Structure 1
Amino acid sequence: MTRKKRNYSDHIEMVKDNDTWLYAPKTLPKMDAIELGEIHDVLPFDGVRNPSSRSNSSHKVFIPYRTEANNNMPKVGIAESAAEAVVSMQYLMSQDVYDLHFQPIEVAYADSEGAPRHYTHDLLVTFRSGHRRLVFVRNEASLQKPQTIRDIQEVIAATPEDAADDLIVVNANDYTRQRRENLSRMYLLFFDEDEEADTLVLETARRLRTLYYMQDLFPHVPISQDRAFQACYRLVARGLLHANLDHVLWEYSQIGVAA
């Protein structure tokens, strides 16, 4: 008896590459950094290194921003990771910040084995007082490695003394995914100014004895809920209201007036 030809596929024939055994992201060929063309009335990215080439491990973020140093003219910034992006946003929402640069300075140094290395600082922040700060953003797993600690020490030693007044190291793990999302939304709303809404919401929050959730404010302010909601975001960003940013910031969030 002739054996019938099977009309089905074994499971193994249906398994595609990376579906079962290759848990890590597939290595992709390196791509050139994205070069933006001229944008009308927008200052170009002016970092010493363009960090926007493709990566399997980090998000590259293009950020439009304004500072008093540039007469509030829009400018393009490029961050090498999501954490670096929200750290810059947090600084840009501070009333104490006068200017900010992405990828501002590159330094050369030798690692612990004597091999030549180059490092580009993530951010340079200039405060209204004139104080200048370099910011080094790295995830916690990396910061716990002895090699990273040695590299940071070498980078600090190789950085010219006149480049900044101090340097801080930021643990990217302090910026949870939800905190990053909240800060990103705050940043979008922060520069969409509505002074009337901000004033009404803050005055209401200060006198309301039953304030617990954000939604408790809405019936007591003479503006639309949308405007009141956005005002809450701006007031939290300015430090006038407080909330837990590691949870979703919405109408059921617990908020209070900052001391």
Structure 2
Amino acid sequence: MTDILSSTSWTPPYSTSWTPPSASTASRLPPVRSRGSSRGTVLNFKANRTLWYESSLERKTIYVSLTRPDVVNMWDQPPQVTYVDAEGNTRHHTFDFLVQMASGTRIAVAVKPSERAEHVTDILERIASQGAVTYADRVTLITERDLPKWRVWNAQFLHSAMCERADADDNVVREILADVIGDVKIGDIINRTDLGGRGLRAVARLLGAGELRLTLPGRINRRALVTKVSLHAETREAR
């Protein structure tokens, strides 16, 4: 019988090298046991570092933040800050994340359900007005209203694609896009390659890198329209 493994030469289209991620830099870690909570880690592929989350809302925030082209780094549980409340009492607060934008701006992020927005907003305004956050340029609150289902779905898919290296696939898509003007269906791009299912992941990486953008809000699939982004276009910082 022919030895298939020894007689077949095959090179994977993606990088097979792997470097273990470094540990989280969180100022505190989630408790070992916490009834009703959702705890776990997500890879910060932009720094090859582990990020902890303590709720599904925090997990979604990590995915959406990391897969934005204008976000260059992210940290979990940055150092605790001290502020004075309305009664003059000294209080402490730990932000859920610290996000660094491509512009250099650093944003301290609180992630909470919308029903707590009014209370948390009051705390954040006091912290900001008192200059309590020395490691960030501004503070912000993210709730589930900022994370529509289609955006979270896209972010999880983008994260999966961007955690792998397949430069050859990405360059194939870039070559096809070189003579494309205006909007184009993702499926039409893929059909001009021989990448098969890998083509969608290559397009996703270019979306995550900011080389492409979705023309309309919606899920990333073969029917979605994308357009090239000018290399000199300025990216906007969201909330």
Judge same fold: TM > 0.5, yes or no. Answer: yes
Alpha-carbon distance change, 177 to 116 in structure 1, aligned in 2, over 3 angstroms: farther
Instruction: String of CA shifts for 1:31-68, please: whole Å, max 9, x gaps.
Output: xxxxxxxxx94422231222355354x6434112244x
State which of 120, 130, 136 in structure 2 corresponds to 1:164: 136
Is residue 2:220 matched to residue 1:249?
yes
2: CA distance between counterparts of 1:199 and 1:47? 36
State which of 185, 191, 209 in structure 1 corresponds to 2:157: 185
Match of 1:232 in 2: 203
Matches within 5 A, 1:1-259: 41-51=20-30, 53-54=33-34, 56=36, 59-67=38-46, 72=47, 74-93=48-67, 99-113=73-87, 117-127=91-101, 131-143=105-117, 145=118, 147-157=119-129, 160=132, 162-208=134-180, 212-221=184-193, 223-243=194-214, 247-258=218-229
Alpha-carbon distance change, 198 to 95 in structure 1, aligned in 2, over 3 angstroms: same
Amino acid at match of 1:257: K
Q: Report how many aligned residue pairs link the two structures.
A: 211
Amino acid at match of 1:248: R
User: CA offset at residue 242 of structure 1?
Assistant: 2.0
Alpha-carbon distance change, 130 to 192 in structure 1, aligned in 2, over 3 angstroms: same
Structure 2 residue matching 1:47: 3-state secondary structure: coil
- Using the size of structure 2 for normalisation, the TM-score is 0.70
Alpha-carbon distance change, 129 to 238 in structure 1, aligned in 2, over 3 angstroms: closer
Any conservation in 1 of the 2:95–2:109 contact (CA below 8 Å)?
Answer: yes
Unaligned segments of structure 1, at least 5 residues: 1-39
Fraction of identical pairs, as percent: 20
1: CA distance between counterparts of 2:139 and 2:20? 32
Alpha-carbon distance change, 129 to 171 in structure 1, aligned in 2, over 3 angstroms: same
Any conservation in 2 of the 1:84–1:172 contact (CA below 8 Å)?
Answer: no
Any conservation in 2 of the 1:61–1:82 contact (CA below 8 Å)?
Answer: no
Instruction: String of CA shifts for 1:149-184, please: whole Å, max 9, x gaps.
Output: 322222335663532233233344121123112101
Higher-Rg structure is 1
Does 1 or 2 have the higher relative contact order (CA < 8 Å, sep 6+)? 2
RMSD: 3.3
Structure 1 residue matching 2:142: 3-state secondary structure: strand
User: CA offset at residue 127 of structure 1?
Assistant: 5.0
